[in-house]
Amino acid sequence: MDRVGKQKGFTLIEMVTVIVILGLLAVVMIPRFLSSANFESRTTADTLLGAIRQAQQLAMSKAPNANVSITTDNTNKRIRIAYTESGIQTIDVSISSNITITGATVSFAKSGEANIGAQQVITIGPSNPRNVCVETSGYAHAC
C-alpha cells in the first residue's frame, strides 16, 4: 500500500502556528478576565440599580411628603438614599475607592415616577465603564 497519499494529521508547522496563536490570545485575554475593576464596576452598577429601586419603593410606600431621593457621590464614594420621616433619614451604600461614579440626584414622587426632566445617565468607571439610566417613569436599567 502507498502510505504517502493516505497520511492524515497536522504538520509540525501547523501545530506550532496554532500554539503560538493560542498563546498570544491567552496573553491578551486572561488579564482582562482577571481584572478586579471589571467586577467592581459591574457590582457597583448592580448596587446602584438596587438602591434606585429601593428609593422608588420607599417613595411609593411612604406618605406623599416623604421627599425620597437618591444621590451618587464620587467624593465620599457612596450612594445615599434620603427621605423624610420624623426627620431626615438616610441609607448609605459605600462603593469601592477604585470606582468613579458621576454625581446625580434623582427624586421620586409618590407614584414612583422620577422627578427629572429627561433620562438621567449615571456612568460608573473608570475601566470598562457601565451606564445606569433612570427614565422619567422611574424605570432604572443598564444602558
pTM: 0.72
Q: Is residue 53 over pLDDT 90?
A: yes
Q: Are 93 and 41 in contact (CB under 8 A)?
A: no
pLDDT computed for residue 31 by the predictor? 76
In the predicted model, what is the mean pLDDT of residues 58-76?
86
Q: Is residue 4 over pLDDT 70?
A: no
User: Measured between alpha carbons, how far is residue 109 from residues 14, 15, 20, 67, 114 in Å?
Assistant: 65, 65, 59, 8, 6
Q: Is residue 121 over pLDDT 90?
A: yes
With cell 494529521, the residue in question is 9
pLDDT computed for residue 2 by the predictor? 57
* Dist CA 128 CA 43 (whole Å): 12
Confidence bin at 63 (pLDDT 50/70/90):
low
Q: Is residue 37 over pLDDT 70?
A: no
Range of lowest pLDDT (4-8, 101-105, 115-119, 123-127): 4-8
Give me the CATH topology for the region 36-142: minor pseudopilin epsh fold (3.55.40)
In the predicted model, what is the mean pLDDT of residues 68-76?
91
User: Measured between alpha carbons, how far is residue 120 from residues 131, 133, 138 in Å?
Assistant: 10, 6, 10
In the predicted model, what is the mean pLDDT of residues 3-12?
76
pLDDT computed for residue 50 by the predictor? 93
